[in-house]
Each structure stands twice: as structure tokens, then as C-alpha cells.
């Protein structure tokens, strides 16, 4: 008969939880000794053996055995080899069900903290770009059609706000991840007088789980992490799309560093924005990780089921993808060069100022809807004659409305941006204040959690 044992093995991927597993076991042994459930001598032997195992794994000399299926049994078996019978006392008042839960929670907490630090780093890069080109006017878009002039700094700070919301989602996720499940046993709790509060303090958790059945079957925190990661990757994908477009010859807005572009195997002139394209592409796989876990969990009865072994590969994939994406963008954005002349020139094209011309008429007493209609006709007239609104003689303007006077030619991309002088708008003063606030936020956060 064929050997199907590989079907149940998880050691290939769950071994990355070894630090968390060892930390949990050390705290558990210390608690057992404190409660008089095992001797101080046994606890000391267990602690020493676990330290040896951690060193072996770090140095890649640990004798992994796939026949033992998972991380927990590999460590327990090796501990028995090292210290003998005392190793058998470690699993007192503990099940693999609450053990794997605490491992995964510890790992998720650490991953959340590192993800937030990375997002702060990306925000810092965006603030740097905004500061270097604070008063540069560029086209803003709707439907990928040039719409209204905006400041480049305003554009960069839009992404700053997106990543700030991402940080909030990860911080929310941390609150529900920061729950200590040890003591839940297999599902009903344990029949020993343990000290769960002591375990929580030792492992850095702020609270203990309230229900043993929920604790061993809960993977909501992983789902939440994957959801937050998916939204964050969506934001990186949107930014990537703009970097791809902006770096193309058709736009010519930016030049990415050679470190983040590649050539073609046949076309020597190419500078392909592969890193941005890959971030865009990898986003779909992260979505799949989220949907995969939701699908795994949707039909599971309480409490633990072996299906839940499938919670880790997608989680690790999404976490790794976000980490590398954060690293790439923290390095790629500072080296991005903006073609100020190009973006300012396009922002100044007169059709971009149609809304401002409508506002001009409103300022002279005309209802907005009437002004909007006049500018629609004016724009079509200029398109038919292939001239810009600012190139139209005053006599032509006045054929559409007698309210047009010589001051119509004072409307520029710069004046358009300056007119948006409300909170959240693209006026230079508002953007300067928003930039200062962003810097203040980063300074307070210390680019960390």
C-alpha cells in the first residue's frame, strides 16, 4: 500500500513557529513549577533542553523528522532525547490544540508589529516625496481622463491616508489577537490548578481567553490579519498601477531607479517597471489566501478540526508577501524622479481649467448648472477648432456669455489649485498643513507601532 503519511505532515511550514513554540513551552514549564505541578528541577531541565533546541534550529542542526508530523512533536521528541523523563512532564495541563493557538497568536502579534513599522516606513517615503515637490502642480484624473489640477504633494498624501487606515486595521486586529489561550486544553479546559494570568504575563498577552471551546477553534485573528493585509496590498496595487502608467512613455511623469526596472530580452531600450507590476500581480494571490481560509473555516463545527492545519500556509504566504512589498516600496519610492516640467505643463493645459471657468461665471452671478452647460459647449467648440480654452479670443468667449471679461485669462493651474482652500483640499496652504501633520504623526509614532 502506498505511504500517505506525507498528507498529514505540516513540519515543512509550521517549523517557522519554533521560537514561539519554545517560548510558550518555557512559560508553561515555569508556571507548572510555580504551581507545584512539576518540580523546580524538572522545570530547569526542560528550560535548558529547550534552549539547546532553539540553538540547534537556529544553527540548522536540528534533526527534523517528518514521521513526527509537526513542529510540536519534533520538539517534544528531541527534548526527550536531551533530558530524558522530565520531558514527558512538559505537556501536563496542555494540549496541542491550545499550544498551536498560542504559537500562532504570538507569531501574528509579531507580524502585525513589523507590518505597521513597514507601513510607517512607506509613509515616511511618501512624505519625503511630497516635501521635495511640495508646490508642483500636476493633472488629477477621473476615469483616467485629465480632470483638474492638483498638487503632487496632495497626490502623495492621498496614499499616506490609505496606509494610515491600513495601520488602524492592523492595530484593531492586534487587540483581538492579543488573547492568551493556554489552559484551554483540548476543548474543555484542564483539570489542574494552573495560573493562566501568570502565563499571559510571561508571554506578553494583555488578557486570557474567556471560553475554552472558542479559544482552541478561533482563527478569526488570522482572518482579520489576512483581510487587513489584502486591503493594504490593494493599496499597493493601486499605487503600482499609477507607477506603471506614470513611468510609461505616454505619460512620462516619473523615472524609477534602475534598481527597480528591468530590460527586455530582445528590446534593448526597455525599462520595464517589473517590481511595481509584481506588487500588482501578487495582490491577487493574497486575496486568494484570505478566501482560502474563509472557505476552510466556514463549515467547521466546534471545536478543533484537522482542517485548521490549513490555516498556516496562506497566512505565511500573505505575511511574507506584505513584508517584501513593504521593503520594496520603502526602497523604491525615495529613488523615484518626478518630471516636474512634464506634469506642470499638462496641468496647465486649458481644458483642465473648465471647472474653474464655470466657477468664474458662478462668481459673477450665474447659476452653476447654467455655467456648467456653457463650459461644456465652450469645451466642445475648442475641441472642434483644436485650440485651448486659454487660446480662445475674448470675443469668442463673449459669444457664449457676456460675463466673460479680460480677467478670464488670469485663471491658471496654480490659481485652480489655490482656490480649493478648504480642509482636505489641494490648496498649497492646506497641503502644507497636511504635510506638517503627517510629519508630526510619524515623529510621534517613531516610525514604529
Q: Which sequence spans correspond to the domains of the chain? A: 7-92, 97-345, 349-411
Instruction: Give me the pLDDT at residue 248, please.
Output: 95
| Residues whose CB is less than 8 angstroms from the CB of residue 185 and which lie 6 or more positions away in sequence, other chains included | 93, 94, 95, 97, 98, 212, 216
Cβ contact 3:66 at 8 Å: no
Residue 84: count of CB within 10 angstroms of its CB = 11
Instruction: Give me the pLDDT at residue 5, please.
Output: 78
218/207 Cα distance (integer angstroms)? 15
Question: What CATH number matches the domain at 349-411, 1.20.1090.10, 1.10.40.30, 2.170.120.30, 3.30.300.30?
Answer: 1.10.40.30
For the chain, what is the total number of helices (H) and then of strands (E)?
A: 17, 6
The closest of 320, 294, 297 to 307, measured between CA atoms, is: 297
The closest of 412, 248, 254 to 342, measured between CA atoms, is: 254
Q: Which of 143, 248, 350, 447 is catalytic?
A: 143
140/152 Cα distance (integer angstroms)? 9
The distance from CA 325 to its chain's CA centroid, rounded to whole angstroms, is: 9
**H or E element, residue 165:** helix 152-177
Instruction: Give me the pLDDT at residue 334, please.
Output: 97
| Phi and psi angles of residue 157, each rounded to the nearest 5 degrees, phi first | -70, -20
Angle CA 152–153–156, to nearest 5: 90
Per-residue burial over 370-397, b if 16 or more Cβ lie within 10 Å, else e, is ebbebbeebeeebeeeeeebbebeeebb
The closest of 413, 415, 416 to 343, measured between CA atoms, is: 413
Say how many Å lie between the first and final Cα of the chain, rounded: 53
Cβ contact 254:242 at 8 Å: no
Instruction: Give me the pLDDT at residue 449, please.
Output: 61
Secondary structure (DSSP) of 224-258: HHHHHHHHHHHHHHHHHHHHHHHTSTTT--EE--G
Q: Which of 5, 39, 248, 264 is catalytic?
A: 264
- Residue identified by cell 473648465 is 354
Instruction: Give me the pLDDT at residue 448, please.
Output: 56
Instruction: Give me the pLDDT at residue 106, please.
Output: 99
Residues written for the chain: 449
340/271 Cα distance (integer angstroms)? 20
pLDDT-flagged residues of the chain (< 70): 1-2, 263-270, 447-449
**H or E element, residue 409:** none
Instruction: Give me the pLDDT at residue 373, please.
Output: 95
Q: HSE-up of 52 (CA within 13 Å, CB side)?
A: 15
CATH code, residues 97-345: 1.20.200.10
Q: Which fold has domain 7-92?
A: Fumarase C; Chain B, domain 1 (1.10.275)
96/116 Cα distance (integer angstroms)? 30
447 is catalytic: no
In eight-state DSSP terms, residue 144 is: T
The closest of 414, 353, 442 to 157, measured between CA atoms, is: 442
Instruction: Give me the pLDDT at residue 4, please.
Output: 78
401 is catalytic: no
Amino acid at each position: 500500500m502506498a505511504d500517505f503519511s506525507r498528507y498529514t505532515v505540516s513540519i515543512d511550514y509550521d517549523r517557522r513557529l519554533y521560537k514561539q513554540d519554545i517560548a510558550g513551552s518555557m512559560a508553561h514549564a515555569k508556571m507548572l513549577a510555580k504551581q507545584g505541578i512539576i518540580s523546580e528541577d524538572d522545570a530547569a531541565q526542560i528550560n535548558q533542553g529547550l534552549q539547546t533546541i532553539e540553538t540547534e534550529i537556529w544553527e540548522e542542526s536540528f534533526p527534523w523528522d517528518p514521521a513526527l508530523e509537526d513542529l510540536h512533536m519534533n520538539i517534544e521528541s528531541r527534548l526527550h532525547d536531551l533530558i530524558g523523563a522530565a520531558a514527558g512532564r512538559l505537556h501536563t495541563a496542555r494540549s496541542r490544540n491550545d499550544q498551536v493557538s498560542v504559537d500562532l497568536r504570538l507569531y501574528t502579534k509579531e507580524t502585525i508589529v513589523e507590518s505597521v513599522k513597514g507601513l510607517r516606513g512607506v509613509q515616511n517615503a511618501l512624505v519625503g516625496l511630497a516635501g521635495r515637490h511640495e508646490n508642483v502642480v500636476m493633472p488629477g484624473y477621473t476615469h483616467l481622463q485629465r480632470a483638474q489640477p492638483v498638487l503632487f504633494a496632495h497626490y502623495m498624501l492621498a496614499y499616506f491616508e490609505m496606509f494610515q487606515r491600513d495601520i488602524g486595521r492592523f492595530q484593531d486586529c492586534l487587540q483581538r489577537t492579543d488573547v492568551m489561550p493556554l489552559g484551554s486544553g483540548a476543548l474543555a479546559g484542564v483539570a489542574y490548578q494552573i495560573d493562566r494570568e501568570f502565563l499571559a504575563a510571561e508571554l506578553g498577552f494583555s488578557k486570557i481567553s474567556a471560553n475554552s471551546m472558542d479559544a482552541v477553534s478561533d482563527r478569526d485573528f488570522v482572518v482579520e490579519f489576512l483581510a487587513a493585509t489584502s486591503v493594504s496590498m490593494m493599496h499597493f496595487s493601486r499605487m503600482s498601477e499609477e507607477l506603471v502608467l506614470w513611468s510609461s512613455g505616454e505619460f512620462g511623469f516619473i523615472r524609477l531607479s534602475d534598481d527597480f526596472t528591468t530590460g527586455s530580452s530582445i528590446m534593448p531600450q526597455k525599462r520595464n517597471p517589473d517590481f511595481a507590476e509584481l506588487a500588482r500581480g501578487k495582490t491577487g494571490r493574497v486575496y486568494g489566501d484570505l478566501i482560502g481560509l474563509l472557505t476552510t473555516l466556514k463549515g467547521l463545527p466546534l471545536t478543533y478540526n484537522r482542517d485548521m492545519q490549513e490555516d498556516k500556509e496562506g497566512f505565511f504566504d500573505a505575511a511574507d508577501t506584505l513584508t517584501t512589498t513593504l521593503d520594496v516600496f520603502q526602497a523604491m519610492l525615495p529613488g523615484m524622479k518626478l518630471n516636474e516640467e512634464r506634469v506642470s505643463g499638462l496641468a496647465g493645459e486649458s481644458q483642465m481649467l473648465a471647472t474653474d471657468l464655470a466657477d468664474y461665471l458662478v462668481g459673477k452671478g450665474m447659476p452653476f448648472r447654467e455655467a456648467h452647460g456653457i463650459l461644456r459647449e465652450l469645451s466642445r467648440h475648442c475641441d472642434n477648432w483644436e485650440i485651448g480654452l486659454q487660446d480662445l479670443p475674448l470675443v469668442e468667449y463673449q459669444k457664449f456669455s457676456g460675463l466673460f471679461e479680460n480677467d478670464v485669462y488670469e485663471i491658471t493651474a496654480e490659481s485652480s489649485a489655490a482656490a480649493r482652500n478648504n480642509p482636505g483640499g489641494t490648496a498649497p496652504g492646506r497641503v502644507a498643513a497636511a504635510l506638517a501633520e503627517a510629519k508630526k504623526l510619524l515623529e510621534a509614532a517613531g516610525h514604529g507601532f
